[in-house]
Amino acid sequence: MEKALLAKDTSYDGIFYAAITSTGIFCRPSCTAKKPLLKNVQFFPSTNEALKSGFRPCLRCRPMDHGHPDWVSRLLKKIETHPDEKLYDGRLRAMGIRPEKARRYFIKHFGMTFQAYARALRMNASFRKIRKGNKLDDVILGHGYDSHSGFRDAFVKIFGQPPGKIHASDCITISWINTPIGAMVIGATTDAVCFLEYTDPKRLEEQSEALKKRFHCAIVPGTNEWIEKLNIQLAEYFRGERKNFDVPLIYPGTPFEEKVWSELLKIPYGETRSYEALANIVGSPLGQRAVGRANGLNRIAIVIPCHRVVNKNGNLGGYGGGLWRKQRLLELENGKLRLL
């Protein structure tokens, strides 16, 4: 890592981050700023770890804007624009990418191997085309499958049912994004946003399981109109240019949970409510603990602003994404902090 940092090696961007203790900022390895003294450098595996340790993103190399190294961005663009091409190990090597390196990176950042990610991406595109009424033969040939049986087997493995039975079904499409307070995962059905969570492993795993339980459908990588719209609105929010989100939301839960989440949406930008006040609003004056639990189970962070709920004495209380994130979000909304 020291060698890559001193050489400003772009191939390590997104693999690790260098934090400079003398300035309090963290950078990508390729940052064009003056080379730091190695005795003043701390290395982190992710932007989340650097942020949690109190470092700020560099304004020159903007590490939060470029979460993936160049070779990963190139690979993602390739499979997104040419879903019919299957990039096996030989093709990856021809592109100058070691297959084992791609496998490790995708497992770490996407929770699955590169080949599994590419296959799921193809299946998601197929799913959407079939739902729109495209002919099955055209879909199969357009996504790199030579036979109906091979396509059907791959489709059933992901969606749990054959292509001919999904016209009334839906799936949750998920996409990874970078924000000034760490990487996040956006999820949306065909009709609405249903998920926005930080990528901290334990939290993400718990919320993903809740998502599967509530929606009873496949979760596959890709993008759709609601993901793209929310991505734009989140950037505006972090720049201090947006106070309200207007994407459609869907958040099934128990009647009590849904009532709490609906009330969270009514808390104005720049304001907070106590758990006690929220319990009174939902008609459960003695249910502060239950309100806190429902608050913690919110699956659409920031948009459903559970970060605006604090203790009666003004202390932050809890937050599934970590108190440091809650603090930054509240400071942003009060005009005390600029994140982008």
Phi/psi of residue 109, each to 5°?
A: -100, -25
Do 95 and 133 fall into the same domain? yes
Give me Rg for the CA atoms of the chain.
Answer: 22
Last residue within a domain, chosen from 31, 57, 83: 57
- Is 249 domain-assigned? no
- Is 183 domain-assigned? yes
pLDDT of 67 > 60? The answer is no
- Categorize the per-residue pLDDT at 66 as very low, low, confident or very high, splitting at 50, 70 and 90: low
- Categorize the per-residue pLDDT at 320 as very low, low, confident or very high, splitting at 50, 70 and 90: confident
- Is 248 domain-assigned? no
Do 308 and 290 fall into the same domain? yes
The whole-number pLDDT of residue 88 equals: 87
pLDDT tens-place string over residues 141-179: 666 666 777 777 777 777 777 777 776 678 899 998 888
Do 101 and 155 fall into the same domain? yes
- Give the C-alpha separation, 281 to 308, whole Å: 15
Do 78 and 155 fall into the same domain? yes
Do 179 and 227 fall into the same domain? yes
Contact in structure between 175 and 227 (CB atoms under 8 Å): yes
Could you report how far apart the first and last alpha carbons of the chain are, in Å?
27
Which has the higher per-residue pLDDT, 116 or 267?
267
Residue 86 tokens read as 């299957």
Residues labelled as active-site residues: 306
- Is 338 domain-assigned? no
Percent of the chain with pLDDT over 90: 45
- Is 236 domain-assigned? no
Amino acid at 130: I
Burial category of 103 from C-beta neighbours within 10 Å (exposed 0-12, middle 13-18, buried 19 and up) = middle
Give alpha helix (H) positions in 216-254: 225-238
Distances in Å between the Cα of 113 and the Cα atoms of 116, 145, 156, 308, 333 are 5, 20, 19, 37, 38
**Among 19-33, 153-167, 185-199, which is the least confidently predicted range?**
153-167
**Among 25-39, 123-137, 324-338, which is the least confidently predicted range?**
123-137
Percent of the chain with pLDDT over 70: 94
Spell out where 159-207 has E strands.
172-179, 182-188, 193-198
Which has the higher per-residue pLDDT, 171 or 137?
171
Do 184 and 161 fall into the same domain? no
Alpha carbon 4 to its chain centroid, in Å, reads 27
- CATH at 268: 1.10.10.10
Residue 300: domain span: 255-333
- Is 250 domain-assigned? no
- Categorize the per-residue pLDDT at 50 as very low, low, confident or very high, splitting at 50, 70 and 90: confident
- CATH at 50: 3.40.10.10
Characterize 221-252 residue by residue with b for buried, 16 or more Cβ atoms within 10 angstroms of its Cβ, and e for exposed.
bbbbebbebbeebbbebbeeeeeebebebbbe
Do 115 and 184 fall into the same domain? no
Name the domain count of the chain: 4
Distances in Å between the Cα of 261 and the Cα atoms of 42, 80, 196, 249, 264 are 40, 35, 14, 11, 5
- CATH at 87: 1.10.10.60
- DSSP per residue over 202-219, as a string? HHHHHHHHHHHHHH-S-E
Last residue within a domain, chosen from 199, 231, 263: 231
- Is 237 domain-assigned? no
- Is 243 domain-assigned? no
CA-closest candidate to residue 282, choices 300, 265, 305, 302: 265
CA-closest candidate to residue 338, choices 238, 233, 232: 238
Last residue within a domain, chosen from 147, 165, 183: 165
